[in-house]
Structure 1
Amino acid sequence: MLIITRRPGEKVMLGDDVVIEVIEVSGSSVRIGIDAPRSIPVYREELWQAVKAENEAAAKSDAKLPDDLPLKT
């Protein structure tokens, strides 16, 4: 893991397309801005983990589909 120090207004580049800027530091909170192409998903880690857990639970589901579903023709 790379650990760097930045002050408000300073930026970090990730590759050619992603810019992370420190917007504000207040106590133990840091506000950052992320400028990335729409094709690159950006998630807060806790939301990413929640979605991942939900998807894993759905994949393990024993839900049964009705036998009388019409066939797509």
Structure 2
Amino acid sequence: MLVLSRKKGESIIIQDHIEVTVLAVEGDTVRIGISAPKHIDIFREEVYASIQEANRESATPLAPNVKAFMELLRETENKKK
């Protein structure tokens, strides 16, 4: 991790396209502004973690649920006969 000291109004540049500026420092809170191209997603860490968890859940194989559904469908068909 790179650690830098910046004062209010000072910035850092990341790979020519992303500028991070310190807007205010109030007690333990630092307000920053981020200028980046529109195609770059920027998330707070907790939001990013929530998105990743949702992605993992949606990628979980559905095979057990499909098998259970197929068995239920077969039972229903057998009862009709």
TM-score (norm 2): 0.74
Moved over 2 A (4+): 61-64
Larger Rg: 2
Q: Tell me the CA shift for residue 42 of structure 1.
A: 0.8
Q: Distance in 1 between matches of 2:57 and 2:39?
A: 27
Q: In angstroms, what is the RMSD of aligned CA positions?
A: 1.7
Q: CA deviation at 1:58?
A: 1.4
Q: Kindly tell me the number of residue pairs found equivalent between the two proteins.
A: 66
- Paired with 2:60 and 2:48, the residues of 1 have a C-alpha distance of 19
Q: So what's the TM-score if we normalise by structure 1? A: 0.82
- Which structure has greater helix proportion? 2
Structure 2: gaps spanning 5 or more residues: 71-81
Query: Which residue of 1 is the match for residue 27 of structure 2?
Result: 27
Tell me the residue number matched to 1:42. 42
Where structure 1 has 5 or more consecutive residues not aligned to the other structure, the ranges are 68-73
2:48 counterpart letter in structure 1:
W
- The offset of 1:39, in angstroms, is 1.1
Aligned partner of 1:52 in structure 2 is 52
Identity %: 33
Deviations 1:9-58 (A, max 9, x none): 00000011100000000010000000000011111111000000011011
